[in-house]
Chain A
């Protein structure tokens, strides 16, 4: 695989930074009691979302799953309105009606977050059908976790996408490795009899790729090829991106303090504590920073300046969200029908 050029790799890194600081802010806001819900954090998977979204064009369509914050921020959608949505504010993307589990921004091709496991795969397949039947040269991307492969709807959608050669890229973010699982009081992990998820789409003749989901080079290469195949009319592609589960997701509520320390990317002596192995070996943001510096694409100071800018931007989004008004109760019946 050819290494990414400077502009592309820095663009992916920028998306990853924004995602990381956004998610850290969400955790902090929840600890402060600023919103009521369960929620899902994307930390540990930023290279997958960042690189896939980098490979898309502005007219491509996205449907995603409950672990959606990374995708909405990685797409470049307004973090102010995303954070306001998570806090249930009237200024959120969806006026507080969607919340963390249902953010959408169709103006940027972000059609839906379905919190029904596997639900987005059918919607993404449908979006691809819509593109095909309207003869539009774009692609649809469906993000979901490995648990989605337990759902019949997902398998049915593979069959239809393959039959009709639909321009859809399925991005399965397999984050089960290293997860505590229910026995240890953590999030559920995949419960499956197959030893490889790619066997399922492959059975329908869908082109499948496995990549290291913490390697932005590998993910971007796979996603670029997938988008190219779809635009070429070659039909759907399934990308399985492997990441090691962020320890903060165990136990069930994220309790790990994750004030990401970017200099530890190039100074491993700064890493300590119970999660040192994950930070050293599996944190995609630290890995990306290390690789950017090693490739000479950016100096440490330049990366730190970007890190600081991202923090400032997310702090502004947090302030915007907190300062925004709640929706008025009398509007509850709005938008049931167009």
Chain B
């Protein structure tokens, strides 16, 4: 199959969506970040000049604008850029977009996509490294998408833009250069359907976003030690494919959750709680979380590495529960 980069897969999905539906528009066109891959957006800018608007640096206003445009029947794809800046737009995100459908008793729909780049990117320090998806999970009414591969990002963007709900599309700058198999034809990946990225019998390793790549590296290392890891990627947090997670733990009896959000009230915490509550009988060892400690992200690389969920840390957690008795 054809191999293309994660960034190119994003562009392909955006182009198809823009061509297919005149209600779709981009508010902000630096979806791929400001790195070298940004030029991949140039053909789209040329093809749809009247549906691509680059806004001022006004996160609150563009989040609000996206919600209002969606209420009016448009389907905006709003790029917030670095996820840390989404906090500037928090009120319209959680107070308007997330709640409008419910507080109107279903009369109002808000089919907007908010795109952002989260996570530890290398030197991002405390104000460019946030992963707000766990906080957003705490705000009822938002769909949350976390792709981890070029194949997934293409199909998930297609579903996000078609969704009638406000969708937070959380990408990771470190994924942009990854190459993978991506069919040329159009396809959509339905929300709420996770994916087993690697099969294994000994330990279930749930990971999201870029950490899925880290988890696959850890699984490779552990395979050399005779430990077979099943890497499970929920792909969307809301809706969540709970059955897939519980079925995997039902087969393996052991669970490690690895994620970049903070340890307290983070994604690893919530997924662990779900498995503890609904899959307790399957568990043969305590659940381990590999997440970001509750420390503001430091700049210097040894310090940043110290809080990063790395392959080594995941391997250590797996070894620990393999010997638990």
Min CB distance A256 to B, Å, is: 30
| Residue in chain B with minimal CB distance to A102 | B103
Interface residues of A in 278-309 (CB under 8 A from B): none
Stretch at the interface among B62-70, B172-180, B202-210, B306-314: B62-70
A114 cross-chain contacts in B, Cβ below 8 A: 95-96
B3 in contact (CB, < 8 A)? no
A125 to B27, CA, bound (A): 13
The listed residue (B71, B165, B239) touching A106 by CB distance below 8 A is B71
Interface size on B, residues (CB 8 A): 47
- Pair B105/A95 contact, Cβ less than 8 Å: yes
Determine which of B66, B68, B71, B165 lies in contact with A337 in the assembled complex, contact meaning CB atoms within 8 Å.
B165
Task: Give the interface centre of B66, B108, B141 by most chain A CB atoms within 10 Å.
Answer: B108
Contact flags B45-76 to A (C-beta < 8 A → 1, else 0): 00000110101101011111111111111101
Residues in B63-108 with C-beta less than 8 Å from chain A: 63-74, 76, 91-92, 95-96, 100-108
Q: Annotate B175-189 by CB proximity to A: 1 below 8 A, 0 otherwise.
A: 000000000000000
* A160: Cβ under 8 A from any B Cβ: yes
With an 8 A cutoff between CB atoms, is A223 at the interface? no
Residue B39 interfacial (CB < 8 Å): no
Segment of A49-57, A127-135, A173-181 in the binding face: A127-135
Pairwise interchain contact A126-B107, C-beta atoms closer than 8 A:
no
Q: Is the C-beta of B259 less than 8 angstroms from some C-beta in chain A? A: no
Report A-chain residues with C-beta under 8 Å of the C-beta of B56.
156, 159-160, 163
B164 touches A338 (CB 8 A): yes
A-B Cβ contacts below 8 A, count: 169
In the complex with contacts A126-B71, A156-B58, A106-B66 CB distance below 8 A: no
**Once bound together, how far apart are the Cα atoms of A159 and B61, in whole Å?**
9
Contact A102 B104 (CB under 8 A): yes
Q: Are A94 and B65 in contact (CB under 8 A)?
A: no
> In the complex, are the beta carbons of A127 and B68 less than 8 A apart?
yes
Give which listed residue, B63, B95, B101, contacts A335 with CB less than 8 A. Answer: B101
The answer to whether B72 touches A335, judged by C-beta atoms less than 8 angstroms apart, is no
Q: A97-B102, A156-B61, A336-B141 in contact; A130/B73 too (CB < 8 A)?
A: yes
Check: B25 CB closer than 8 A to any chain A CB: yes
Contact residues in B for A224 (Cβ distance below 8 Å): none
Q: State in angstroms the CA–CA spacing of A334 and B104 once bound together.
A: 11
Q: Which of B68, B73, B76 contacts A125 (CB 8 A)?
A: B68
> Which of A93, A96, A116, A127 is in CB contact (< 8 Å) with B95?
A116
B219-241 contacts to A, CB under 8 A, are: 239
Which residues of chain A have C-beta atoms less than 8 A from B111's C-beta? 338
> Is A253 in contact with chain B by the CB < 8 A criterion?
no
B23 at the interface (CB under 8 A from A): yes
Q: Is the CB of B107 within 8 A of A337?
A: no
- Beta-carbon contact of A337 and B101 below 8 Å: yes
- B155-173 near A? 1/0 per residue, CB < 8 Å: 0000000001100000000
Measured in the bound complex, the distance between the Cα atoms of B52 and A133 in whole Å is 9
> B108-167: which have CB < 8 Å to A?
108-109, 111, 140-141, 143, 164-165
What residues on A are CB-neighbors of B71 within 8 Å? 106, 111-112, 123, 126-127, 130
- Enumerate A82-121 residues with CB–CB distance to B below 8 Å: 92-98, 102, 104-107, 111-112, 114, 116, 119, 121
Decide: A98 and B61 in contact? CB cutoff 8 A.
Answer: no
CB-based nearest A residue for B72: A130
- Is B102 within 8 A of A122, CB to CB? no
Asked if B22 is at the interface (CB within 8 A of a chain A CB), the reply is yes
Please indicate the chain B residues that have their CB under 8 angstroms from the CB of A128 in the complex.
68, 72
Chain A residues with CB under 8 Å of B95's CB are: 114, 116, 119
> Does any Cβ of B come within 8 Å of A315's Cβ?
no
Residues 124-156 of chain A, each 1 if its beta carbon lies under 8 Å from chain B, else 0 = 111111110110000010000000000011001
Interchain CB contact under 8 A, B103 and A123: no
Q: Is A17's CB within 8 Å of the partner chain B?
A: no
**Among B72, B107, B111, B140, which residue has the most Cβ atoms of chain A within 10 A?**
B72
Which of A111, A122, A338 is in CB contact (< 8 Å) with B106? A338
Asked if residues B96 and A119 are in contact (CB atoms below 8 Å), the reply is yes
Known A-B contacts A111-B68, A130-B69, A338-B164; the reply to A122 vs B61 at CB < 8 A is yes
**25 contacts across the A-B interface (CB closer than 8 A):** A93-B105, A94-B107, A95-B106, A102-B103, A111-B68, A112-B71, A116-B96, A122-B68, A125-B64, A125-B68, A129-B27, A129-B69, A130-B68, A130-B70, A130-B71, A133-B23, A133-B53, A140-B68, A157-B61, A159-B56, A159-B58, A160-B55, A160-B58, A160-B62, A336-B140
Q: Taking beta carbons and an 8 Å cutoff, which residues of B are in contact with A?
A: 22-23, 25, 27, 50-51, 53, 55-56, 58, 60-74, 76, 91-92, 95-96, 100-109, 111, 140-141, 143, 164-165, 239
- Given contacts A112-B68, A153-B61, 10 further A-B pairs with CB under 8 A are A95-B106, A97-B102, A98-B103, A114-B96, A126-B66, A126-B68, A130-B74, A159-B61, A160-B62, A164-B53
Question: Ordered nearest first, which 4 A-B pairs have the shortest CB separation?
Answer: A126-B68, A122-B64, A130-B72, A156-B61
